Structure 1
């Protein structure tokens, strides 16, 4: 089964037309040859870019020499109004300090503690969708955004999405997402730090609203910690963890930055993957039924943490969807010093793009690269291809802190949903993948929902 893939750019574009189309959708603005090339070089005014699909090159950039290829400030500029100096955007000593404080909260033992909150959020999502079964088609991306935001608030602050402040953050984030804030003029022009980034007013307004609401949550938690009544959740763990080198903790302003990162990375990316997972399962009813049978066999009425490792098919489906629709389709680094890639000179300041989207669909790495085939994850060939071209959570020192969290959350929610509900496609409303904040459908993903058995 071949699920939707965006059309590629045909022929050459004028610079300003490329900028326009790139802002609208990163994926369709690029040529088809990127799905076969080991490397591609692009030169447009003010921007020299290398896209690297060669496994030796992306490993060099992400794993072997990460200090020589830090996060690009061009891409960071688009997210700064929301994320400030959060761990997703920083480099160097500042980033290392932030990771020393954050990483302990996501260790294996802590993930076990968050599992009941994931289950509760998943069961709430099942109940909401079951109430809509048999009605008109449902826009499933919005529903998955609701579900994953619920997971984040339950695991981070021990409150459900129905909490007044949590719900307000979720609604404000939806408004922020609609302003398409990722790319602005700074992505194409080498602007100095002191120059305004020319963000849309709606982007700045929504970001201020989100950060003010998060600030209320952080302040309330700081007071609860001081009074000894704070719950033992991720927020408390992060706010009380001291940097082992300096003994310092995050202040409130820095914690707001980090919570904004967790909300973006933990809710938006998971929602993207789950939306596409439910759509491809709607196209493949046999696999959908097999996941329901697996969930019936593995999950009782009160699933426990050990059950997560037994959801093998749900995990393989989720990985296959991450391959085809990686939520973050491109990672942009900047060459800090001159380098050579495949005989080509890379000057300091050049942009280096590692693209999970193109790696996951690369014809030289994967057999039937555009096909949905969860069975490939059980074969030696599929496992070898994954080592060469499967990096939805990045790789190396900057691998996503929440990768383990996501690989428990995603298959679990998928199993809980499919165990109770049946998802079917809407023939006249096929989704069209586009890359904005994450890989989403341009007009949403619409599905019919029924009750299973």
Structure 2
């Protein structure tokens, strides 16, 4: 059984047809040949972009020479109303300063500190879903709720049912529906003087999200000054000084960073959890293997998550098939020559985890769901060279370790209690919005797992 993927378009279409397909869904706008191509050029009278799908070229751009391929400003076309000048969008000295302040909060020792809050969110999710056993549930909604709960508990020590947290969560969902993370402006170099007509709903939601986050940050600043702030991620980041300048983030800078933490840590985790549960519903033998492993490990603490090897490989395989962020856009800062093509300065360089993770020349049975592949020689090679769900190199996602702890933990707590199965007639169709989601949601039938123990707390 092959898990669902978007239909590919014909190799040759008009620019108008491509733009129309792109607006509907980034993934199905791409031709099937990209699953075999090492590189592809998209040329119009106005611009050029190049998709690179060869590991050594990806390594050049992301790892060897990241300074020559800064993040394209066009990626921020639809996101600045929420993200402002966050680390996700900046380049150069500004980005380096931001990472010097942010990175210490996500180092290994801090992950251990965040584990109790993360586990509380996972158990709360398992309890909510167990209460709906016997029902068909749209699991993307539940995954979004759970991922948002993790972010608010670990960042601000408040659960998702806190009034402000709930409002931020719901307004982010409004923003997601109104504005994709990659729109055509990310690939088409519109003149800077041309106005960007963002949907009114997106502008309104963005303004409200930032106002709510600003309130949380100002309150935390006051708690830090009073010496009453909890020891969570927000406090750690807001009190970390840049080792080169001695400065901390201002409140407005912190609003920018919290916005991207929520986007990256909530949207991407929700996408990954939803697709992982769907894949386990399609492949009940792997679902049972995860449940058995979780049962053998027992009540989890931080060190125990490392023992969930099957669960980790299942989650990793879901990230391969459904990478939450399907495409990344860089810009050539100088003329380049890739393979047999000249790449002019200013060209858009598109790196597609979606296509690289399914590259037919690299992976064995690339469209199959096979968590066992990670223990094979081919799987180990591809893990090093062709697996980038969190990007790679200097700009690798700061929260990659956080996500690889959170995903298996959520799966463990859910599958300890429940069995999931597909719902007849509800086949999900992957599309790219803020992240890779299903056009009509992911529907699963929930049933209590025989012998499942009640969560020990929420």
For 1:129-149, what per-residue CA distance to the aligned partner results, in whole angstroms no more than 9, with x for missing partners?
1111112x1100010000000
Q: Which residue of 2 aligns with 1:245?
A: 244
For 1:186-212, what per-residue CA distance to the aligned partner results, in whole angstroms no more than 9, with x for missing partners?
335433445432111111111111111
Q: Which residue of 1 aligns with 2:427?
A: 430
Residue ranges of structure 1 left out of the alignment (5+ in a row) = none
- 1:12 deviates by 2.0
List aligned pairs for 1:124-163, cutoff 5 A: 124-135=124-135, 137-163=136-162
8 Å CA contact 1:62, 1:396 repeated in 2 = yes
Q: Which residue of 2 aligns with 1:283?
A: 282
Q: Which residue of 2 aligns with 1:447?
A: 444
- 1:18 deviates by 1.0
For 1:398-424, what per-residue CA distance to the aligned partner results, in whole angstroms no more than 9, with x for missing partners?
000000000000011011111101100
Q: Distance in 1 between matches of 2:223 and 2:45?
A: 53
- 1:387 deviates by 1.7
The reply to whether residue 419 of structure 1 matches residue 416 of structure 2 is: yes
> Which is further off, 176-185 or 160-169?
176-185
For 1:349-399, what per-residue CA distance to the aligned partner results, in whole angstroms no more than 9, with x for missing partners?
100011110010111110000000000111122101222210100010000
Q: Distance in 2 between matches of 1:329 and 1:100?
A: 27
- 1:226 deviates by 0.5
Q: Which residue of 2 aligns with 1:68?
A: 68
Q: Which residue of 2 aligns with 1:116?
A: 116
8 Å CA contact 2:218, 2:251 repeated in 1 = yes
Alignment partner for residue 327 of structure 1, among 324, 345, 362? Answer: 324
Q: Which residue of 2 aligns with 1:23?
A: 23
Q: Distance in 1 between matches of 2:114 and 2:247?
A: 25
Q: Distance in 2 between matches of 1:194 and 1:230?
A: 44
For 1:252-281, what per-residue CA distance to the aligned partner results, in whole angstroms no more than 9, with x for missing partners?
111000000000000100100100000010
Q: In the comparison of the two structures, how many residue pairs are matched?
A: 450
Instruction: Give the TM-score of the pair, scaled to structure 2.
Output: 0.97
Q: Distance in 2 between matches of 1:188 and 1:308?
A: 40
Q: Distance in 2 between matches of 1:106 and 1:263?
A: 14
8 Å CA contact 2:324, 2:435 repeated in 1 = yes
> Which is further off, 384-393 or 166-175?
384-393
- 1:183 deviates by 4.2
Alignment partner for residue 308 of structure 1, among 300, 305, 309? Answer: 305
Q: Distance in 2 between matches of 1:190 and 1:317?
A: 39
Q: Which residue of 1 aligns with 2:453?
A: none
Instruction: Give the TM-score of the pair, scaled to structure 1.
Output: 0.98
